[in-house]
Amino acid sequence: GNSVTQMEGPVTLSEEAFLTINCTYTATGYPSLFWYVQYPGEGLQLLLKATKADDKGSNKGFEATYRKETTSFHLEKGSVQVSDSAVYFCALSGGATNKLIFGTGTLLAVQP
């Protein structure tokens, strides 16, 4: 079945450091891929998405490219801020019911 694997956390970085959170997937067909973010005490929010191979999703300085050849959708940001501290979830969607399959989440802690 479809699945998502993302790197274990927590990831601890200093402010202005470069961020990469790895995400790989297993799926039949051509799923859409997403990154969601969860700030403390809140529900998940969509951060960015890509719906086909080679698409790049971007938002708030974060980027991720849909790589079909490596089945990956790694999240990157050039310079993180303390306010980026949150849990990040990679997810995929396929099929008519819009169900999302989530990875286990990666906690990012950015220190001043």
Binding site for another protein (CB under 8 A): 32, 34, 36, 41-46, 49, 51, 89, 91, 93, 97-105
- Please state the closest distance from residue 53 (CB atom) to another protein, in A: 15
Question: Closer CB to another protein, residue 32 or residue 75?
Answer: 32
Nearest C-alpha neighbor of 110 from the set 38, 34, 10: 10
How near is the Cβ of 27 to another protein at its closest, in Å?
13
CA atoms of 84 and 25, how far apart (whole Å) = 24
Q: Which amino acid is at 28?
A: T
